[in-house]
Amino acid sequence: MPLSRRGFLTAGTAATAALALTAAPAHALTTRPFGRYGSPARRLTPGTLYVDPYGRGDFTTVQAAVTAATGSGRTLVIAPGRYRETVAVDAGRTEMTWIGASENPRDVVVVHDRAAGTPKPGGGTYGTTGSATATVQADGFTARWITFANDWLRADHPETSGTQAVALKAQGDRSAFLHCRFLGHQDTLYADSMALGALARQYYAHCYVEGDVDFVFGRATAVYEHCHFRTLNRTDLAAAPYGFVFAPSTAAADPRGYLVTHSRVSSEAPDAFYKLARPWVPSSDPTARPMLTVRDTRLGPGIDAAAPYTDMSAAHPWQNQRFAEYRNTGPGAVVTVPENRPRLTAAQAALHTPAAYLGDWNPR
């Protein structure tokens, strides 16, 4: 059996190395590695490319397939396997689709292991953006049944201070991630835009995201529907908080930031050891006014119900941002200090729906 992510994270470097050597799931070795999605001999469309680490496709790496997929509207069908690499989809490769052939995101894992503070071969460090396992800048990108992971671990690199380690950075408009998994610790999922003022609508449905510090963050207009966010335990800290689920950096002029709806937040950490969110006002946009609405979502006991929000900087208190909740349930949603739980009225909540956030784009 392949190691679970929890197994290799808790076991450290040796287990991480073992992950790359673990045999693929049994069905990856059958004569139909691409399932119902054709093969190089019987392509779904002339624009479909096939990726398989065992050489039964057009390419053995995802990046090689992306590089070959020039123009617009190309599809990558990816066979089960662990693809240890970094992948970049530039802005010119629009309307691209990635399909995990087994239709189980645990089987198709794109993973790498570098952090913001990891030294670059030519000098300097990668920085948060450069740490990303996958970077998607193209508009109209869709991924189904893929795991994006960054398995860099603080415990293995005590000398590194820049511990941000991104699994996916998405920047394009009309980006959809369906039944995907995003695994990391700090800064796991970077839902951002190409530039300040650029429209970047993103839709995440039936996805799983885990991490600890600011593990869903960025400037995009992003909808998270029927998603599961899981906060990790930590042995390197003796007291709360262990981290923060959301850290939006919405531009002040953008009327829509992050919307979380019909989802859930669970935890491996002790009760009340996580904050739901803190606002990120980056130096590149000091006028940002982060926006997060969490509605119709179950907040588990890992969330600090008495004080679910906190500041990232005293210069930008969370109370001055656009944080709100509506009809949430669970221990982490209990209102004990009303001034710490900004809530929408029914009339206000009617303006915070996937359709309102995504406009004329309907990925559903």
Q: Could you list the active site residues?
A: 187, 214
Instruction: Strand 216-218: give its sheet, edge to edge.
Output: 87-89, 134-136, 168-170, 189-191, 216-218, 243-248, 274-277
Query: What is the Cα Rg of the chain in Å?
Result: 20
Token readout for 62 is: 């995802």
- HSE value, Cβ hemisphere, 13 Å, CA-based, for 305: 14
Angle at 263 between CA 291 and CA 199, to 5 degrees: 40
Distance CA 308, CA 333 (A): 9
**Residue length of the chain:** 364
